[in-house]
Amino acid sequence: MNTFTYEYPVKQYFGEKAAANHLPAELAKVGKTVMLAYGGGSIKRTGIYDELVEILKDAGKEVVEFTGIMSNPTYAKVQEGAALAKEKQVDFILAVGGGSVSDCCKIVATQAKYEQDIWEMEYTDHQIPTEHIPMGVVVTASGTGSEQNNGAVITHEEKKLKAALWGAYAAFAILDPAYTLSVPMKQVISGAFDTLSHAMETYFGQPEEVNLSDELGEAVMRNTIRNIRKVIENPKDVSARSELMWASAMAENGILKIGKVTDFQGHMIEHQVGAYTDCNHGQGLAVIHPHLYRTIYRDALSKFARFAKEVWNVDDTGKSEDEVAQAGIQALADFIKEIGLPTTFAEMNVTLDDDMVRKIAESTVFTAGCCKKLTVDDIERILIQCK
């Protein structure tokens, strides 16, 4: 296991009525003006909006609304939110939604404290900001685990880049599984696959030798697979949704990453596909992962063989290590098809011409934790296989 420092600042309020039971006490700690940030308005249809506004009003807060945060939030939207936060002198941000809302608000909370452009600050000057407007998150769609960390994935449309920025940690996260009951099933499954992807991307990082973090990761993967099947069988199974919500948190609160250099090469490829096409994140990962793993598995053969046995229950009797590893990747591919996620970009109505494929490959970040040193040509071949 590599050396590490671990610190975790996000308080978790998990379970039914978590907002009603805990949000008032948290609001008592913050200033008067609260930005209520959310996406397209689904929280109004479900009643979550009315519940939270009532709690905010009862706490004596002045509410500033920041709405219309899209999937794959753009840098322009971040700047819009930061300008509003400055104008209204916002004391606290309450992000309500899934990973897109949380990601956007983490950078809004940061940009509002700086005159300097945060993208240039982080990518040109290589400085990480330290000042933020305090914020909290109410999760209504789980899977990304965004509420658990200070990383945000933002699409810079002018630069044709979808990349990570570092912003604010939430002071707390409200995790009420009942809030996810109204989320469309396609979004539930896509989000849950993102959880599985996070666990896999951490698991196949460095070192290859199995450590405690990896064994915990195997449990998270098995749990996610089992409960995806349960929630498909019964969409109103709150117990299964609870498990998926906490698995999402566990995959991104740093526990599985202790002592690891993570991989996340699949995410880097999908991010650039998203930068060019605005495709669904979880679905894009489902398309990419089997092809990526068939490209790299021989460079971490024992780990992929263990993944097959411990996560997918592959019987290794009479099989070589290579055959076991391949069986595990096939089990992943079969599962993706079983749960109704796409297996090609064409199934997502995403068309990549040859020029776009090359541009995506050339702009994809190569990660230090990937077991194989990939090239632009490797990424191009993977993308062609995904078409």
Average per-residue pLDDT for the chain:
97
CB 195 within 8 Å of CB 248: yes
* Per-residue confidence (pLDDT) for residue 7, from 0 to 100: 87
CA quadruple 101, 104, 105, 106: dihedral sign: positive
215-271 pLDDT, tens per residue? 999 999 999 999 999 999 999 999 999 999 999 999 999 999 999 999 999 999 999
Confidence band for 41, pLDDT divided at 50, 70 and 90? confident
Beta bridge partners of 96: 138
Domains and CATH numbers, the chain: 11-180 (3.40.50.1970), 192-386 (1.20.1090.10)
295-341 pLDDT, tens per residue? 999 999 999 999 999 999 999 999 999 999 999 999 999 999 999 99
* Per-residue confidence (pLDDT) for residue 114, from 0 to 100: 98
Q: Report the alpha-carbon distance of residue 172 to residue 138 in Å, rounded.
A: 9
pTM across the whole model: 0.96
Q: Report the alpha-carbon distance of residue 155 to residue 271 in Å, rounded.
A: 9
CA dihedral 197, 356, 382, 250 (to 10 degrees): -10
Q: Report the alpha-carbon distance of residue 26 to residue 28 in Å, rounded.
A: 5
Tokens of 201: 């991307």
Q: What is the mean pLDDT of residues 121-143?
A: 97
Three-class SS of 247-301: HHHHHHCCHHHCCCECCCHHHHHHHHHHHHHCCCHHHHHHHHHHHHHHHHHHHHH
183-230 pLDDT, tens per residue? 999 999 999 999 999 999 999 999 999 999 999 999 999 999 999 999
Confidence band for 111, pLDDT divided at 50, 70 and 90? very high
* Per-residue confidence (pLDDT) for residue 142, from 0 to 100: 95
- Phi, psi at residue 47, to the nearest 5°? 90, -5
Q: What is the mean pLDDT of residues 77-87?
A: 98
CB 154 within 8 Å of CB 107: yes
Q: Give the orientation angle of helix 281-296 with respect to helix 321-338, to 10 degrees.
A: 160
* Per-residue confidence (pLDDT) for residue 279, from 0 to 100: 96
* Per-residue confidence (pLDDT) for residue 321, from 0 to 100: 98
CB 111 within 8 Å of CB 82: yes
Is residue 133's pLDDT more than 90? yes
- Hey, what amino acid is at 263? D
With a pLDDT cut of 70, the percent of the chain lying above it is 100
* Per-residue confidence (pLDDT) for residue 2, from 0 to 100: 87
